[in-house]
Amino acid sequence: MVKKILVIDDEPKIVEICQDYLVKAGFEVAHAYDGSTGIAIARRSQPDLVVLDLMMPEMDGLDVCRELRRESNVPIIMLTARVEETDKLIGLELGADDYMTKPFSPRELVARVRTVLRRGTGNPQAEVIHAGDLILDRGHYSARFPDREVPLTPTEFELLATLASQPGRIFSRAQLLTAVRGVAFESYERAIDSHIRNLRRKIEPLEGETNYIITVHGAGYKFIEAGG
């Protein structure tokens, strides 16, 4: 089945380049030049992934990301002309899966799109991870406790599955980056901290209690089973 990509950017040239390369790569592409139109198209067409510009007039990419996350776990790759680390971290904390800094290589964009989409592709033969009362099904990319489902983005699922597959093992940020991207990527390890914060909010609903994901200062993170 052809995957649908939605590109939201107020620069027509950027939209044109993204669309050309993504279409040539075999994707179906829709586009919008402003945030509100992009949200409307996302609601209507249910894309498999959104490429979203951070800096847009009226409704910027952070507001769009925030609105999309209220309604779905669609993968989001943010585009930003800013180089400040804070801007990137805010986007990731709002639930973006990845980011690219302008100017960027269109071929790299295609590669990133494929990588993020692979994170959400189930495999019926894949393992089911039982970690205490948490069940992670790699075949369907689902996470659940006995009393509730846990809505996760593809990146969040991969991070949690990596940690939960080996309870007690300490994973460095670099190792977790490699796990979620499939290759050693640019050394932006603080991105992992943002994803971990999102995970904690979802699987540890009691604020102030860290039941599953433990920070090991100076080393990284580890997963412990409840009561472990």
Query: Per residue of the chain (228 residues), what is the pLDDT tens digit?
Result: 899 999 999 999 999 999 999 999 999 999 999 999 999 999 999 999 999 999 898 899 999 999 999 888 899 999 988 666 666 677 777 888 888 888 889 999 999 899 888 765 555 445 888 888 889 988 778 899 888 898 888 888 889 999 998 889 999 988 888 777 654 344 466 778 888 888 888 887 655 555 789 999 989 999 987 644
Backbone angles phi and psi of 51, in degrees to 5: -100, 120
Query: Domain count of the chain?
Result: 2
Range of the domain at 163: 128-223
Report the alpha-carbon distance of residue 158 to residue 164 in Å, rounded.
10
Specify which residues 66 forms β-bridges with: none
Task: Tell me the two tokens of residue 106.
Answer: 């269109």
Domain identity same for 139 and 170:
yes
Within the chain, residue ranges assigned H as helices are: 12-24, 35-45, 61-71, 85-93, 106-119, 154-164, 173-181, 190-203
Residue 176 is assigned to a structural domain of this protein: yes
Domain identity same for 57 and 135:
no
DSSP run (H or E) holding 19: helix 12-24
Domain identity same for 112 and 135:
no
Domain identity same for 102 and 187:
no
CATH code for the domain of 180 = 1.10.10.10
Residue 228 is assigned to a structural domain of this protein: no
Domain identity same for 94 and 137:
no
Domain identity same for 52 and 135:
no
Give the global pTM: 0.70
Task: Tell me the two tokens of residue 82.
Answer: 């800013």
Domain boundary among 119, 147, 171: 119
CATH code for the domain of 24 = 3.40.50.2300
Domain boundary among 68, 95, 119: 119
Domain boundary among 119, 144, 174: 119
Domain identity same for 34 and 89:
yes
Domain identity same for 138 and 72:
no
Residue 166 is assigned to a structural domain of this protein: yes
